[in-house]
Copies of this chain bind each other. A is one copy, B any other.
Amino acid sequence: MQRPDEKKRALITATAARLFAQRPFHKVRLEDIAAEAKIGKGTLYIYFDNKEDLYFSLIYDGFLRLVERLRTQVAPAPAPDGPAQTAAEGLKRITTELVSFAFGHPHFFELMRTIGPGVLKSNPHADWNHLRHELQTLIEDTIRRGIAAGELDDPLPQLTAAFLPGMVRSVMLFGPRCLSENEVRDQILRLLEHGIMRRTEPAGHQTT
């Protein structure tokens, strides 16, 4: 039907993504995927090693695209001119990309949801953790640069970096459905930057 290779692989990937997003792993039968994609069951095994491989390839591909976008978008000071707002700009770009990706791939976080530490150990994608680490580092470094530049004030950047994807995921999975991409992004940035506490006057305060 299509060119032997890439087209069909993409067809499988897309079909599988849809089904895996609809129901949990063990309720999706390879037969369903094959039927939905209008191909034979055996064909799946030409493009993927087994069910798990298909599943993880799916998520990995998406994750890879996300990180690659971020990597290019949030390059550490691309131009050698004087970027005063680099940190705020960086966070904005990161958040924008993250939210944009989430809206563009509504299934992705639904799939990502099922990936946890327990699963990660047992799959052959050795660079999976590498990828996750790169995302974490990308965000964390942006914050650290902001701190170094006196722009930000964060005692635990690694935590904040972990929060950011978590917030995006929250909305996609359980948040109100009627919000626009911009609203979500702005709200995340608002929290990230200023929180929600009204500042009556330049008064100090302590949390603990």
Mark A residues whose CB is within 8 Å of B: 21-26, 88, 92, 110, 113-114, 116-119, 122, 132, 136, 143, 146, 150-156, 158-160, 162-163, 165-167, 169-171, 173-176, 179, 182-184, 186-199, 201-203, 205, 207-208
CB distance from A42 to the nearest CB of B (A): 12
Residues of B within 8 A of A171 (CB): 159, 162-163, 166
Prevailing SS type, chain A contact patch = helix
Interface pairs A-B: 7 shortest CB-CB:
A166-B170, A26-B26, A193-B197, A154-B196, A194-B195, A193-B195, A162-B175
Asked if B22 and A24 make an inter-chain contact with CB atoms under 8 angstroms apart, the answer reads no
A118 to B110, CA, bound (A): 9
Asked if A88 and B197 make an inter-chain contact with CB atoms under 8 angstroms apart, the answer reads yes
Q: Which of A92, A116, A160, A169 has the most CB of B within 10 A?
A: A116
A90 to B180, CA, bound (A): 28
Among B158, B187, B207, the residue within 8 A (CB) of A193 is B207
Asked if B116 and A196 make an inter-chain contact with CB atoms under 8 angstroms apart, the answer reads no
A121 to B114, CA, bound (A): 17
Asked if A24 and B167 make an inter-chain contact with CB atoms under 8 angstroms apart, the answer reads no
Residues of B within 8 A of A158 (CB): 175-176
Task: List 19 contacting pairs A-B, 8 Å CB cutoff, sorted by A.
Answer: A21-B118, A24-B114, A110-B117, A117-B174, A154-B190, A159-B175, A159-B176, A163-B170, A166-B167, A166-B170, A167-B167, A167-B170, A169-B169, A182-B208, A190-B195, A191-B191, A192-B195, A195-B195, A202-B202
CB distance from A169 to the nearest CB of B (A): 6
Asked if A208 and B186 make an inter-chain contact with CB atoms under 8 angstroms apart, the answer reads yes
Asked if B184 and A152 make an inter-chain contact with CB atoms under 8 angstroms apart, the answer reads no
Asked if A116 and B186 make an inter-chain contact with CB atoms under 8 angstroms apart, the answer reads no
Residues of B within 8 A of A169 (CB): 166, 169-170
CB distance from A166 to the nearest CB of B (A): 3
Q: With A186-B208, A208-B186 in contact, do A163 and B156 touch (Cβ < 8 Å)?
A: no
